[in-house]
Structure 1
Amino acid sequence: MAKRTRSFGDIFRRRTLAIGLVIVVIALSCVVKLSYIQLYNGSALASQAAQSRTVDRRLQGVRGTITDINNVTLAQSIESYTIFADQQAASQFKPVACKGRNNGICQETTQKKVFEVEGPASIARMLAPILQMDVKELGAKLTGSNRYVILQRNALPQVKRQIDQLNISSIIGFELTSNREYSDDGLLGTILGGVDNTGNGVAGLELMENEALVGHDGHVVYQRGRNGQEIPGTRTESSDPKQGGTVQLTIDRDVQWYVKKALVDGKNKYHAQYGIAVVQRVSDGQIVAIADTDEYQAGSDDAKTHTSRAITEVFEPGSTGKLITAAAVLQEGLHQPADHFSVPYSIKVDGQTIHDSHEHGVEQLTLGGILKVSSNVGTLMSAQNLSYDKRLEYIKKFGIGESTGIQFPGESSGQIVDNASQWDLRTRQTVLFGQGYSASALQMTNVVATIANKGVRNAQRLIASATDAQGNNVTPQSAQPVRVIDEDNANKMMNMMESVAQASQKLLNMPGYRIAGKSGTAEVAGEGGSLSGIMADFIGAIPADNPQFVITVVYRDPEGLYGIVTAGPVFAQIGEFLMQKYQIPASAPRTDAIPTEW
């Protein structure tokens, strides 16, 4: 019996020893493995762990600002955020009350109900007051298995800051975006244009100056903790985002507002289809205001798909084109302002009968008188010895058929057959009084500005200055000024144009200021293609004795038809405002008027 007992004891001891040996082997294996990891593979594993915690976050560069000449903001980007959630992470969420030194991971909230539940319901109770959303609706959005669900767009920075304090960055994330805001109130809709969903310019100045306005993104690399927070001291690299540059326009917002109002009032008064107006500074070609009666808000789809009528829409200038002919006649030495002409109602040249707008007997007019009464026949008579090539040359010298220099998207250079030998028999004559070619309101403004600037044509400018995200000066370079006619002949033109305006003083009522200008009433194609439409305009320089500004006003199909009757009074209204705003001294009395009859 004792022998059997010893046998069981031996078995027990042997088994105990075996188990002990196994435990020792396992322990030694763990020690060996741990030693291997620490001595040979520790750095690699640590690196892998660090990489799994490393975040490279983009910091968006905000688009730059557009201002008027007085630095009034017209377009700017406001920082905002798209808030999104990870539903899988939300399902595992357990709120942690703030106690002791756990500020970096706890949920600081006054809502006790947050801690009564877990998962999406808890998060919804925290976020609903901040996002101003219904708790149940928000909880439904947080429930599921999607790793990316948008909770709210265009959230303001203060909303993000409130959420950041909840330490739930492993569940709730943010994407920095920006809203493009415009303060133009419809004044410059098609000029400013708009941006697309990515923040890039797609129309107007936003497209034209996109390279200057676009911001440059930055980034930051750091390691994040269990709840997604940045671990202090782990930031390895970063670069600050750069805000886009600033584009300053030549436009004065106050003048723009007044011009727009006067133009719209005139459109309503004369029941016109639409109106266009331009104000240009004589000395340097800067555009102070550019408006049409279309009511498009900058940034809207309409502003992105329509263009500025003043820059892109062209029409035959009609009688205002006679200014180019008169300037060419003077410059080529064919006639002087006081030369005598006997002007009948009609005349036949090259088999083409040309007549004036109203029947009349033979009128005894000077060259100045021909311009004053806007005689087609007299204009043709004065330019009989001006060759066809010279007729084309001066039209082009005054900028028709060429870019204005503004470089605006969709800008029209006007339309003209660029070879005088290809003109038909009628066009050879009608170009002398503004038919047979077309121009924009902006181009015709510069015709008068060239004369007012002592015969020198400046490239027109819409951008006063521009810088890019790096602070580099990227202001568009203007073409060099070009002399078109001599100063003496420019002065003679201004004298004759003043007589034109003086003949309509009741309509061009600007007490204390002299005006030099020309009206036009041109036929244009209507809906059926026939010449059933009218473009009525008045273009003038003020004050005539010391020209500071040129104003163009154009109406399509106004009641009253004639440019002097419809556009003229609006021109005077705008002119009076400019004289008061810029405190331009009153004109000296006129003493050198050239005779208009003989």
Structure 2
Amino acid sequence: MRSLVNLAKTRRFAFRCAAIGVVMAVLFGVCFGQLANIQLLNGKVTAEAATAARTLKVPVGARRGKILDANGAVLAQSVERYTIVADPQMAQGFVPTDCVKQTVGRCHEVGGKPLEVKGAAAVARIIAPVLGMNAMEVGAKLSVPGRYAVIKKDVEPSVKRKLDKLNLGGIIYGELSEQRVYSGGNMIGALLGGVNDKGHGVSGIEAKMDKELSGADGYKVYQQGNGGVEIPGTLTASKDAKNGSDVRLTIDSDVDWYVKKTLIDGCQRFKADWAIAVVQDARTHQIIALEDNDDIAAGSDAAKLNVSRAVRQTFEPGSVGKVISVAGMVQSGVHQMTDRFQVPDHFVKKGQSFHDAVWHPVSNWTLAGVLQNSSNVGTVMAAENYSDQQRYDFLTKFGIGEPTGLDLPGESSGTLTTPKAWDGRTRDTILFGQGYAVNLMQLNNAVGVVADGGVYKKPGIIESITDPEGHATLMSPQDGTRVIDQAVNAQLSDAMESAQGHYQAVTGIPGYRTAGKSGTAEVNDGDGRLDSIVSDWSGFLPADNPRFVITVVMSNPEGSLGGITAGPLFNQIGEFLMQKYEVPTSGPRTNAIPVDW
């Protein structure tokens, strides 16, 4: 009986062994068949699939060009930075290697101590101190699903090199990027503008010159190993990136800095709402400084969202506009600069009342004297035979209502309506700078016509463009158009010198003759109420050999009159220019045109 039981057990055991053998044989057959299929039948396809999975077409970014000032000082440049990226899936499966137990190869520790956790928490503890981040914040970014997560942007190369030494290849790696940095702080901040996350200009000079600065991206096609590293010898195609060109401005940083400081101090001194100023080369019409008192740093969100006040602000020029009116009258033959007028402080013309800024008795003034004393009444009286069309034509010849040619983003062209739209009062207020609006460059460039001997040229702010190979293309000054004859211009310059002398105590610069004109205009709030004042001063120096044209504009300064508010700032800027550029002093003034009779 016992032998029968043992025999049965033996048979069952043998059956089981046979069954297991059969299963193993089947599995072996399947595995062998699959191996044969992969290696012999589909080996090429499988290898190609594996290669394709590792092969990437990686863009090679072009380096954005620099923005330089006229002296070659760097105002904006792109520097090498990295975006630190993680593979969350691999991070979550990470098991650290104890450096004590590991005698050969890679290991992981923090502060010389082994890690007591694993997964995303361990990776976070390792990299957080290097990145200057909180480990919990990093851990949260590593705990998301997927294979790609940005941990930190704009990381310096030195930090990226430290990460490379942490033995986390395949989990943490860096993608090359750029960061745009600016050296001048709030100096021409909004004028320089800024770039977006993709490195393209969105405002200011960065936007205006984006095509030249950007260049063209290239690419590389290769097989990629752990951590995004290129496998040597696997490069199959490539196209070199073409870096962007460098753009040199006509702006002189030293002058611009001083103008900025002068405006900030001037706003505090006269309690003005804002102030703007421009300095222009009288010979080339290139802009040397273009500033406001706003505190906007280049590259900041404010710089990307705002246009420089010196570019976008428009205003009525006030009595500076009389320079154009007098020029037109003399050039068209309506008057000579020596023509005589008896000018009251107020008068009524066709039901319209006109008055001068300050009371004075009936005065015997020449046309030069009318300009010197900034008489609204005298200007209207002198324009009796100066037609509406002539008034409009000379305004446009001096660039009023016309694009400046700078093509700066957000730049306003001001407003100037045609004579058909003028009413009985506007046709005369036009004569003394009211009834139309200008931007800062338009007004300065109009006065620049007189400084340049009667020739109008569009202003420039780009000096040259240099490609990556070092070939420079100069932006030549535009050809000029004669607006008034040289003889007429000489008389107008003389009259402006007399007008400047009216404020000699606050605008005069020892050793130098200057020519200028003040302006004060009331600003309409849009509902017909006059709610603010704009005061300006525009002039050039030296008057006998013009080198620079300067315009300063202030909003609601205490003192109101342009000659005693904006004028002193013109004085400060002009004196700085004479010293910086070592301009020879002026010769004596002779044969000045009489201003009274």
Judging changes above 3 Å, is the alpha-carbon distance between structure 1 residues 528 and 150 closer, same or farther for their aligned structure 2 residues? Answer: same
SS in structure 1 at match of 2:504: coil
Gap change, CA 1:341 and 1:142, over 3 Å in 2? closer
Residue 485 to residue 42, structure 1, CA distance change in 2 (3 Å): same
> Residues 188-240 of structure 1, C-alpha deviation per residue, up to 9 Å, x if partnerless?
12211222233222222222122122243332222234665432211222333
CA distance in 2, matches of 1:78, 1:245: 15
Query: Does the 8 Å contact 1:276/1:310 carry over to 2?
Result: yes
- Map 1:199-214 → 2, pairs under 5 A: 199-214=199-214
In 2, Cα distance between the equivalents of 1:228 and 1:247? 34
Aligned-pair Cα RMSD in Å? 3.4
Task: Supply the AA of the counterpart residue of 1:211.
Answer: K
Tell me which residue corresponds to 1:220.
220
Q: Is the 8 A contact 2:451 2:540 kept in 1?
A: yes
Aligned to 2:248: 248
Show the counterpart of 2:87. Answer: 86
Report the residue type matching 1:264 in the other structure.
Answer: I
Partner of 1:47: 48
Map 1:185-196 to 2 at 5 A.
185-196=185-196
Cα distance in 2, alignment partners of residues 321 and 22 from structure 1 = 104
Q: Note closer, same or farther for the CA distance 1:30–1:90 as it changes in structure 2 (3 Å cut).
A: closer
Please, which moves more after superposition, 234-243 or 134-143? Answer: 134-143
In structure 2, do the counterparts of structure 1 residues 563 and 122 end up closer, same or farther at CA, with 3 Å as the change threshold? Answer: closer
Q: Normalising by structure 2, what TM-score? A: 0.88
Conserved 8 A contact 2:398-2:456: yes
Q: In the alignment, what sits opposite 1:300?
A: 300
What SS does the corresponding residue of 1:507 show, helix, strand or coil?
helix
Equivalent residue letter for 2:370: I
Structure 1 equivalent of residue 534 of structure 2: 535
- The C-alpha deviation readout for 1:102-141, integer Å capped at 9, x for no partner, is 99x8459897645887544554454344324455665565
Structure-1 residue corresponding to 2:176? 176
User: Where do 1:452-471 residues align within 5 Å?
Assistant: 452-467=451-466
The match for 1:422 is 421
Range with greater deviation from structure 2 (147-156 or 331-340): 147-156
SS of residue in 1 equivalent to 2:499: helix
> Which residue of structure 2 aligns with residue 10 of structure 1?
none
Please say which of residues 408-417 and 352-361 is displaced more in the overlay. Answer: 352-361
Unaligned runs of 5+ in 2: 1-16
What does 1:50-449 correspond to in 2, within 5 Å?
50-94=51-95, 106=106, 113=113, 119-120=119-120, 123-124=123-124, 126-133=126-133, 138=138, 141-143=141-143, 145-166=145-166, 168-225=168-225, 229-418=229-418, 420-449=419-448
Do the aligned partners of 1:59 and 1:176 also contact (CA within 8 Å) in 2? no
Deviates more, 1:69-78 or 1:325-334: 69-78
Deviations 1:351-403 (A, max 9, x none): 32323223332211111111111111221222221111011000110000100
Q: How far apart, in 2, do the equivalents of 1:25 and 1:556 lie?
A: 94
The 3-state SS of whatever aligns with 2:506 is coil
1:177/1:28 Cα in 2 relative to 1: closer, same or farther (>3 Å)?
closer
CA distance in structure 2 between the aligned counterparts of 1:343 and 1:299, rounded to whole angstroms: 54
One-letter amino acid of the counterpart of residue 570, structure 2: F
CA distance in 2, matches of 1:367, 1:358: 18
Match of 2:9 in 1: none
Following the alignment from structure 1 to structure 2, what is the Cα–Cα distance between the partners of residues 350 and 367? 22
Counterparts of 1:495-510 in structure 2, within 5 Å, are 495-510=494-509
Q: Kindly state the Cα deviation for residue 551 of structure 1 after the two structures are TM-superposed.
A: 0.7
User: What CA deviation, in whole Å up to 9, does each residue of 1:43-88 have, x standing for no partner?
Assistant: 3332222112223323333332212111212222232222122222
Aligned-partner Cα distance in 2 for 1:348–1:25:
117
Residue 592 of structure 2: aligned partner: 593
SS of equivalent residue, structure 1 residue 150: strand
Per-residue CA shift, 1:380-430, capped at 9, x if unaligned? 222221111011000110000100110011211121112x13311111222
Tell me the matched-pair count: 582
Structure 1 unaligned residues grouped into runs of 5+: 1-15
Question: In the superposition, relative to structure 1, how do residues 252 and 139 fare at CA in structure 2: closer, same or farther (>3 Å)?
Answer: same
Please give the per-residue CA displacement for 1:17-54, whole angstroms capped at 9, x wherever unaligned.
xx999999999999998777666644333222211222
| Cα distance change of structure 1 residues 484 and 31 upon mapping to structure 2, 3 Å threshold | same
Q: Go from structure 1 to structure 2 and tell me whether the alpha carbon gap of 1:70 and 1:503 turns closer, same or farther (over 3 Å shift).
A: same
What CA distance in whole angstroms lies between the structure 1 residues aligned with 2:306 and 2:136?
44
- 1:89 to 1:332, Cα distance in 2 relative to 1, 3 A: same
**TM-score normalised to the size of structure 1?**
0.88
Aligned AA (2:67): I
Q: Is the 2:317–2:438 Cα contact (8 Å) retained in structure 1?
A: yes
Q: Give distance in 2, aligned partners of 1:236 and 1:108.
A: 36
CA distance in 2, matches of 1:240, 1:107: 38
Task: Find the aligned partners of 2:169 and 2:383 in 1 and give their Cα distance.
Answer: 80
CA, structure 1 residues 199+543, in 2 after alignment: closer, same or farther (shift >3 Å)?
same
Q: Give the 3-state SS of the residue equivalent to 1:578 in structure 2.
A: helix
Aligned residue in 2 for 1:583: 582
